[in-house]
Amino acid sequence: MKRFILESAAIVQVELIKLIRDPTELISRAVQPVLWLVIFGQVLAQVRGIHTGQTSYLAFITPGILAQSILFSGIFYGIAIIWERDLGVVQKLLASPARRISLVFGKAVAAGFRGIVQAVVIYIIALIMHVSVRLDPLVIIAVLGSVMLGSGIFATFSLIIACIVKTRERFMGIGQLLTMPMFFSSNAIYPLEIMPGWLRVLAQINPLTYLIDALRGLVITGGENIYGYSVDFGVMLGVFLVLLLIAVRLYPTLAE
């Protein structure tokens, strides 16, 4: 266990150093949520066509857009893995005695820190737009936990896809193919109640829905948490563990 933590920490540290040294990607990823909140959110808030209970539409989609940016930055994590494979980094790591699970888990945690940066950006936009966000420390810790877990899920899922497709070109195609359907088949920008039955079924098997449900209760004042936090976190934790086990099996095939 001690070695697992030390090895994972080594991977996380390297990723963080690189992130701090070259934050270009993070900055460019911050543009999209700004567009969604400032333009889409504000315009649709005028329509008042979607019932969002006690909260304003803009407040309603704020956790949704946070989850979306976690999904988008997580799901393209696999590109970096394929790049590392082309450079021989994966081969070198796999020929070292480090446990496979440490290598994969380290990547997931590093993705979590990227997710936290996204969360900070969204909180800043939300505050500027006068969305009433909850700022008490325990809630913030729970938000950070959800963001880490959500990022870990999508980054690990992305790593699995990278292990299967193995080339950047194919990955780009599949990445595009997955993100928008996952986003639209979730409760990010409209509530579950107004979805047609078939879409609601899809939403219920989409892990993004549970991330958003948790965030909706935690991030905004008066936000409604439908499934309950234990269900949300239980589902996310379960999905993460399953994906982690699959990724540990598949990651070594990248070096073949």
Partner 1 sequence: MNTNAPHNPDKFAIKTLKLTRKFGNLTAVDHLELQVPYHEIFGLLGSNGAGKSTLIKMLTTLLTPTSGSAEIGGFDIIKSPGEVRRHIGYVPQMLSADGALTGYENLLLLARLYGLKRTERSIRIDDALNFMGLTDSAHNLVKTYSGGMVRRLELAQAMLHRPAILFLDEPTIGLDPLARHMVWDRLLLLRREYGMTVLITTHDMEEAEVLCSKLAILLAGQISVVGTPAELRAGLGKDATMDDVFAQYAGDLAHSGGSFSDVAQTRRTAQRLG
Using CB under 8 A as the criterion, which residues of the chain lie in contact with partner 1 when the complex forms?
3, 6-7, 9-11, 13-14, 17-18, 21-22, 86-89, 91-98, 252, 255-256
Inter-residue contact 112 to 81 (CB < 8 Å): no
Kindly tell me which of 87 and 120 has the beta carbon lying closer to partner 1.
87
> Minimum Å distance from CB 51 to partner 1?
48
How many C-beta atoms surround the C-beta of residue 212 within 10 A?
31
> Minimum Å distance from CB 181 to partner 1?
32
> Minimum Å distance from CB 180 to partner 1?
30
Kindly tell me which of 16 and 144 has the beta carbon lying closer to partner 1.
16
Kindly tell me which of 22 and 193 has the beta carbon lying closer to partner 1.
22
Inter-residue contact 47 to 190 (CB < 8 Å): no
Kindly tell me which of 117 and 188 has the beta carbon lying closer to partner 1.
117
- Classify each residue of 29-60 as buried b or exposed e, where b means 16 or more C-beta atoms within 10 Å of its C-beta: bbeebbebbeeebeebbeeeeeebeebbbbbb
88 vs 160: CA distance, rounded Å: 18
Instruction: Please calculate the CA angle 10-154-62 and round it to the nearest 5 degrees.
Output: 115
Kindly tell me which of 81 and 149 has the beta carbon lying closer to partner 1.
81
Q: For residue 100, give the H/E element and its range.
A: helix 100-128
> Minimum Å distance from CB 94 to partner 1?
6
> Minimum Å distance from CB 27 to partner 1?
16
Kindly tell me which of 136 and 256 has the beta carbon lying closer to partner 1.
256
Q: Residue 226's closest CA among 209, 202, 247?
A: 209
Both structure tokens of 171: 């990955």
> Minimum Å distance from CB 23 to partner 1?
12
